[in-house]
Amino acid sequence: MKLSVDINADLGEGSGHDAELFELISSANIATGFHAGDSDTMHAAISAAKKHDVAVGAHPSFFDRENFGRKEVTISNEEVFEAVAYQLGIFQAIACALDVRPNHVKPHGALYNMAVRHAKLADAIARAIKSVDSKLILFAPDKSDLARAGEAHGLQIAREIFADRNYLNDGWLVPRTRQDALLHDPKEAVQRVLRMLREGKVRSVEGRDVAVRGETICVHGDTPGAVEFARELRTRLESDGVKISAPKSSR
């Protein structure tokens, strides 16, 4: 069976190389103003995605521009619901004005990381997505609280793996506070991604094989060398017969 996978990147965050990435990815997670971006950057990113036939999704965050949304914060689940619904609403309105239908949602930074392991917070995110548009696909790691919450609310899930991040024995990512959080060699990253797709396994930094499931591959837009990572990844995957395609809603 021929493999098919999505390549996604976080854009509209001011990294300076969105234009190059739009030519290499199939899905764009666009910042919705709480950690980066504003209405103008959302408009520009959605317009660029439309031009390049790239699927668009909202990239909601905690309201934390100072820390780029990567600091864990104490917030009630209802506040999370309201914050995510608010950001999705704005994003949907701008996309609609450009005659673009949003395809997915990927929480950003600390919001994503906390939702992976906190069921009630994950539930708040899933409820917010469902309240805005139940056809939106939720990007989430396999077997995470975020994926389970999405499924419980009838959302379609695209299981996400990471090309530029290292993994721990428990299947989650090495924290960014550690020096070994990032994978810096694009060729090594591609070999690892191919193994994740074909065998459903990734080698952790502790040396153990961990089970993973990948339907969409993340390349962080603000990671040094992001363009080279994405180019190497797409070129090698396509040369190995892997189709690059955004997930489509079955709802």
pTM of the model: 0.96
- Range ranked top by mean pLDDT from 11-20, 37-46, 186-195: 37-46
The domain spanning residue 183 has which CATH number? 3.20.20.370
Residue pLDDT, tens place only, 101-143: 999 999 999 999 999 999 999 999 999 999 999 999 999 999 9
Decide if 251 is inside a domain. no
CA distance 173 to 243: 26
CA distance 185 to 200: 21
| C-beta separation of 204 from 168 below 8 A | yes
* Residue 234: closest CA among 7, 3, 1: 7
Name the average pLDDT for the chain: 95
* Residue 142: closest CA among 210, 199, 213, 211: 213
Q: Please give the average per-residue pLDDT across 43-60, as a whole number.
A: 98
CA distance 186 to 178: 20
Q: What angle do CA 202, 198, 239 make, to 5 degrees?
A: 110
Tokens, residue 26? 């199939």
Residue 1 pLDDT > 70, yes or no? no
Decide if 250 is inside a domain. no
How would you class 208 by CB atoms within 10 Å of its CB: exposed for 0-12, middle for 13-18, buried for 19 or more?
middle
**Considering its fold, how many domains does the chain have in total?**
1
Decide if 16 is inside a domain. yes
For 33-63, b/e burial (b = at least 16 CB within 10 A) is bbbbbeeebbbebbebbeeeebbbbbbbbbb
- Confidence at residue 16, expressed as pLDDT on a 0 to 100 scale: 87
Decide if 115 is inside a domain. yes
| C-beta separation of 8 from 26 below 8 A | yes
Decide if 130 is inside a domain. yes
Pairing relation of β-strands 157-162 and 201-203?
unpaired
Confidence of residue 23 (pLDDT cuts 50, 70, 90): very high
Q: Which residues contact 14 (CB under 8 A, 6 or more apart)?
A: 36, 37, 41
CA distance 23 to 20: 6
- Confidence at residue 31, expressed as pLDDT on a 0 to 100 scale: 98
Tokens 């990381």, residue located: 113
Decide if 58 is inside a domain. yes
Residue pLDDT, tens place only, 151-182: 999 999 999 999 989 999 988 899 888 999 99
Range of the domain at 132: 4-244
Confidence of residue 54 (pLDDT cuts 50, 70, 90): very high
Tokens, residue 157? 């899930």
Residue pLDDT, tens place only, 198-250: 999 999 999 999 999 999 999 988 777 889 989 999 999 999 999 999 999 98
Decide if 249 is inside a domain. no
Decide if 165 is inside a domain. yes
